[in-house]
């Protein structure tokens, strides 16, 4: 329910089907429940693609915030799968260490550094944060990891880990398009239709999806 509008605009502007996964949430279902749901969902989509009326040879992962975490982790797990065309990450959660410089800044937007650390404690406390399935930034980038579009917000504690992850992908030879919106807050893409920055970010994200599917 929280992301129905965003899923719908990705489908409309991207010219693609969107399967929105209602994965289990912490603290009732901590790591690796959400990861297991993401991995299982991909298998299910491939097995049932004809029922869904979709092309299983052209799949992209997309997500924002915690959904971006799952999309990035899944993209790494299936590196080399030729059916995966792209990963579209809106201000993703990538690094459980919460040590990026932007965590030291004061953020007046939707998400604070204190909140983010608390969320990690509910999802993957302690040593679990270093598991690559929980912290995609902790893993080496495998050959064949899908190309990425990463959208980051300037007024967001997650800003620097998104930038660092883009650099890590690029260093590993993975095509990556980093888009930084310095005046934006965490979660801003869901405000499309209300603020121009969100409209621009969504349009750029869906353009990346269309281009990736066209090349597949």
Question: Is residue 214 packed enough to be buried (19+ CB in 10 Å), middle (13-18) or exposed (0-12)?
Answer: exposed
**Catalytic one of 86, 107, 113, 156:** 156
Query: What residues pair up with 181 in beta bridges, in sequence order?
Result: 153
Cβ count within 10 A of residue 120 = 22
**Catalytic one of 86, 107, 159, 186:** 186
What CA–CA distance (Å, rounded) separates 15 from 191?
Answer: 20
Determine whether 186 is an active site residue: yes
Q: Could you tell me which residues come within 8 angstroms of residue 7 by beta carbon, excluding any fewer than 6 positions away?
A: 18, 20
Helix (H, G, I), strand (E, B) or coil at 89: strand
Query: What residues pair up with 89 in beta bridges, in sequence order?
Result: 63, 150
CA-angle at 145, arms to 17 and 164, nearest 5°: 105
**Catalytic one of 64, 65, 107, 113:** 65
Which long-range contacts link 187-190 to residues 24+ away (Cβ below 8 Å)?
A: 187/64, 187/65, 187/91, 187/109, 187/110, 187/111, 188/91, 188/109, 188/110, 188/153, 189/6, 189/64, 189/90, 189/91, 189/151, 190/3, 190/5, 190/6, 190/64
- Residues classed as catalytic: 65, 156, 186
């Amino acid at each position: 329910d929280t992301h129905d509008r965003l899923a719908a605009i990705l489908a409309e502007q991207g010219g693609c089907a969107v399967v929105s996964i209602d994965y289990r949430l912490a603290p009732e279902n901590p790591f690796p429940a959400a990861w297991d749901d993401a991995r299982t969902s991909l298998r299910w989509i491939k097995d049932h693609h004809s029922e869904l009326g979709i092309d299983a040879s052209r799949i992209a992962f997309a997500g924002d915030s915690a959904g971006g975490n799952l999309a990035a982790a899944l993209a790494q797990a299936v590196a080399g799968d030729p059916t995966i065309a792209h990963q579209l990450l809106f201000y993703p959660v990538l690094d459980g260490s919460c040590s990026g410089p932007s965590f030291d800044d004061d953020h007046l937007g939707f998400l604070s550094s204190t909140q983010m650390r608390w969320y990690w404690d509910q999802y993957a406390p302690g040593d679990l944060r270093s598991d690559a399935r929980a912290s995609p930034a902790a893993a080496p980038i495998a050959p064949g990891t899908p190309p990425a579009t990463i959208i980051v917000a300037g007024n967001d504690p997650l800003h620097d880990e998104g930038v660092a992850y883009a650099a890590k992908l690029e260093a590993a030879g993975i095509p990556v398009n980093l888009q930084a919106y310095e005046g934006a807050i965490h979660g801003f893409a869901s405000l499309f239709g209300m603020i121009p920055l969100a409209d621009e970010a969504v349009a750029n994200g869906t353009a990346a999806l269309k281009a990736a599917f066209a090349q597949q």
